[in-house]
Amino acid sequence: MHISVNGEQHEFNEVEVSISRLLEIRQVESPEMVAVQINGEFVEMQNYPNTYLKSGDDIEFLYFMGGGSQ
Amino acid sequence: MIDFTEEQLERYSRHILLDDVGVEGQEKLLQAKVLIVGAGGLGSPAALYLAAAGVGTIGIVDSDVVEISNLQRQIAHFSKDIHFAKVESAAEKMKAINPDITVKTHRECLRAENISGIIKDYDFIIDGTDNFPTKFLVNDACVFLGIPFSHGGILRFNGQTMTVIPYRTACYRCSFRNPPPPDAVPSCAQAGVLGAVAGMLGTIQAAETLKYITGVGELLTNSLLTFDAKTMIFRKIKLNRQANCPVCGTDPQITELVDTEKTVCGLS
């Protein structure tokens, strides 16, 4: 299976990769720090375990970024 | 039509020379009202560039005083300004660059009960806040009042920004639904930030503001611009308005402004 994560191409041998699994593979330490979208559509956090990726999917991890004033 | 003085024609000549701006564009800038939320790392460069550009009325909101640790990146503040209100310090530099403009200082925290009154008279808002409760509050208030704004965030070597035209383009909540748990996201105060990254991002926000006012080019709407100063890779991630967005969607669950948690105003 061939997917794109934040613009980088990834090849997976696993047949079923959920968002939860992808967060593990990418070693995202605090999933609550990222918003996930697949092909431009927002995915609710509670749906991470049962949302499976398809070949050709375009995944974006959008990081919460504060900063600014202090 | 404004009658430009000789001095104004000279001061703004490099704008006026631009085919896309011209005297008409400069006139729009002089008549525009922009509010900058946060006189810090992002607000400082934005405030100085908007002042220099001749944005006629610039409001600036911040409740803090200048501290020595701010000076590494908050370029509107100088060593002599330590312990003074950030809004006054920023206003002084803005007026020094351009006495042509009006600066309105709001030395307070934005909260659910005061935000609408403060932002309602402005044409465009720059979010340069340091905390998520205020970022979400700015988003929601701008959506409710239909005021376009620029979101900005920085951390370590990274920055992100998007421009939001309420109900027409994706809002901040379309992608970032709710503030993350307070302890999950490191702040610049905890994780650090490269000073120039604040300048890069605040300046992009200023450019978006000038584009919005003059109607030039394509705004950074329906997309999140992210960059990593370590590699200087810039990415523009496509975003879509989400029908199930809790604030600008078809069946919004958020219909009034609320403070999501205790405001962290004044904390440094």
Q: How far is B178 from chain A (nearest CA, A)?
A: 10
ipTM score: 0.89
Asked if residue A70 is part of any domain, the answer here is: no
Q: What's the whole-model pTM score? A: 0.94
Residues B139 and A69: their CA atoms lie apart, in Å, by 17
Asked if residue B192 is part of any domain, the answer here is: yes
Q: In terms of residue numbers, what domain contains B178?
A: 32-238
Using the Cβ of A37 and the Cβ atoms of chain B, whether some distance falls under 8 Å is answered with yes
B68 φ, ψ (degrees, to nearest 5): -60, -30
Return the structure tokens found at B110: 């934005």
Count of structural domains within chain A: 1
Asked if residue B21 is part of any domain, the answer here is: no
Among A30, A62, A67, beta carbon nearest to B176: A62
Residues of A in contact with B42 (CB under 8 A): 67-69
Which residues are CB-neighbours of B180 under 8 A, at least 6 positions away?
A: A32, A33, A64, B132
Using the Cβ of A30 and the Cβ atoms of chain B, whether some distance falls under 8 Å is answered with yes
Closest C-alpha to B239, from B132, B185, B161: B161
Among A7, A41, A66, beta carbon nearest to B185: A66
Asked if residue B111 is part of any domain, the answer here is: yes
Asked if residue A14 is part of any domain, the answer here is: yes
Residues B91 and B101: their CA atoms lie apart, in Å, by 10
pLDDT digits (tens, 9 = 90+) for B57-80: 999 999 999 999 999 999 999 999
Mean of all residue pLDDT scores within chain A: 90
CATH of the domain at A31: 3.10.20.30
Q: How far is A3 from chain B (nearest CA, A)?
A: 16
CA-to-CA separations, B156 to B2, B184, B190, B227, in angstroms, rounded: 44, 15, 10, 11
Count of structural domains within chain B: 1
pLDDT digits (tens, 9 = 90+) for B97-150: 999 999 999 999 999 999 999 999 999 999 999 899 999 999 999 999 999 999
Contact A67 B188 (CB under 8 A): yes
CATH of the domain at B73: 3.40.50.720
Return the structure tokens found at B229: 């100063």
B105 φ, ψ (degrees, to nearest 5): -100, 135
Residues B171 and B9: their CA atoms lie apart, in Å, by 37
